[in-house]
Structure 1
Amino acid sequence: MEFIHSDLFTYVLIPLFIFFARIIDVSLGTLRIIFVTKGMSRIAPLIGFFEVLIWLLAISRIMQNLENWVCYVAYAAGFASGNLIGMLLEEKLAIGHEMIRVITRKDATTLINVLRETGHGVTWNSAQGVDGEVAVLYIIARRSMIEDVLSLINKHNPRALYTVEAIKYVNKEIFHRSEEARHHRWISNRGKKMGKYPVIESPQSQQ
């Protein structure tokens, strides 16, 4: 009991608990919002449950130590750190797809061919810009591959205008060639277990 009332417990351990609890619950909150915006509504409530539970543990310690100013600092610092860590986690996870819209006056044939050769689907059409005819390209890619696509655009059409737009839902999975073999193996194994789907061979195995 003496340890609970000691300065070490009051001014160090309790603030540390609040600090790390806030980091966890704010990080979870950031991920929950991202999952909701990406249409992943099944996992969001589960994350929300643990988010609020951890927040209640942190705020209860604040209410029990209203005269301890260190707890307030730990609470605010944990909130700020949690936002940063949540954003870093989201960038690492790179969940979902994004659409890249490219507008270029330069002939886009080379860029289109390079994108398709590297496994990225491209849809394009001609349009009329302020200074004449332009080509408009649409590429839907996994977020983890956006940097690769942008590097190809900057390499082959460095003066092109492009935007990257978030996509909430894609009704058909878009797979890069490097992922096709893994995807086909997953479908094949799933079909064997459920006994409902035929075995699908990967394109490489069919060649």
Structure 2
Amino acid sequence: MDTSFYDSNLFIYLLLPGLIFISRIADVTIGTIRIVMVSKGHKLWAPILGFFEVLIWLIAITKIIENLDNWLCYIAYGLGFAAGNYIGLLIEEKLALGIVKLQIITKKEASKLIENLKAAGYGITHHNAQGANEKVSIIHSIIKRSEIKKVEAIVKTTNPKAFYSVEDIKFVNEGVFPIHPARFRMRKGK
């Protein structure tokens, strides 16, 4: 009997569904990151990622169509889609691209929190307001998304009961952002 490896049960029922699963993870992950790039206005990265997303998808769907009688390919396709969404969101969270608006509402006197945020290099706008039951202080700050954890730590240590919310922002024209020392510096003459 002269059968090729591609006609073997090992390939058809194990490796092919595995490859479809992996390709779906790849294309959906890329698609998730591409959508983030579009929403953040990255005009170069979005089409590049879109090209690879569709190319991988075409390869996967071609293998599905070639093997319509193999239900394991369908399962692998669906599982790959679900896993790709999850992995894409994890990667997007780690990239933490863009800027956000942070709004902090506190019943407690806000001067110490304002002082700590300013000391960390964050620009803030502050005003007093009337809440549902009492006077509150509202602090606004525009920060890099990658700085959210640092600001949350300042808020939680200074005023653990403060209410805060975070909103994505597509564009700002000016702002006060913490200055971090450069990790790599070019030396003149070298």
Q: What TM-score results when the alignment is normalised by the length of structure 2?
A: 0.90
In the alignment, is the contact (CA less than 8 A) between 2:142 and 2:175 conserved in 1?
no
Q: Which amino acid letter does the alignment assign opposite residue 97 of structure 1?
A: I
Q: Which amino acid letter does the alignment assign opposite residue 110 of structure 1?
A: K
Match of 1:81 in 2: 83
Q: Which amino acid letter does the alignment assign opposite residue 30 of structure 1?
A: T
Corresponding residue to 2:11 among 9, 12, 16: 9
Match of 2:129 in 1: 127
Structure 1 unaligned spans of 5+: 190-207
Work out whether 1:90 is the aligned partner of 2:92. Answer: yes
The Cα shift of 1:184 comes to 11
Matched residues in 1 for 2:183 and 2:100: separation?
20
In the alignment, is the contact (CA less than 8 A) between 2:27 and 2:57 conserved in 1?
yes
Work out whether 1:152 is the aligned partner of 2:154. Answer: yes
Count of residues in Structure 1 that have an aligned counterpart in Structure 2: 187
The Cα shift of 1:183 comes to 9.2
In the alignment, is the contact (CA less than 8 A) between 1:124 and 1:137 conserved in 2?
yes
Match of 2:112 in 1: 110
Match of 1:194 in 2: none
Match of 2:36 in 1: 34
Work out whether 1:141 is the aligned partner of 2:143. Answer: yes
Q: Which amino acid letter does the alignment assign opposite residue 182 of structure 2?
A: R
SS at match of 1:125: strand
Q: Which amino acid letter does the alignment assign opposite residue 133 of structure 1?
A: K
Q: Which amino acid letter does the alignment assign opposite residue 4 of structure 1?
A: Y
Match of 1:44 in 2: 46
1:169-184 paired onto structure 2 within 5 Å = 169-172=171-174, 175-178=177-180, 181-182=181-182
Cα deviation 1:32-89 (Å, max 9, x = unaligned): 1111111223211111111011000000000000001111111011111101110110
Q: Which has the higher contact order (CA 8 A, sep 6+)?
A: 2
Corresponding residue to 2:163 among 161, 172, 190: 161
Structure 2 unaligned spans of 5+: none
Matched residues in 2 for 1:14 and 1:61: separation?
8
Q: What TM-score results when the alignment is normalised by the length of structure 1?
A: 0.83
Match of 2:71 in 1: 69
Q: Which amino acid letter does the alignment assign opposite residue 128 of structure 1?
A: Q
SS at match of 1:4: helix
Matched residues in 1 for 2:94 and 2:73: separation?
31
Structure that is richer in helix per residue? 1
The Cα shift of 1:163 comes to 0.7
Match of 1:203 in 2: none
Which 10-residue stretch deviates more, 168-177 or 130-139?
168-177
RMSD: 2.2
Match of 2:58 in 1: 56
Percent of aligned positions with the same letter in both sequences? Answer: 47
Q: Which amino acid letter does the alignment assign opposite residue 168 of structure 1?
A: K
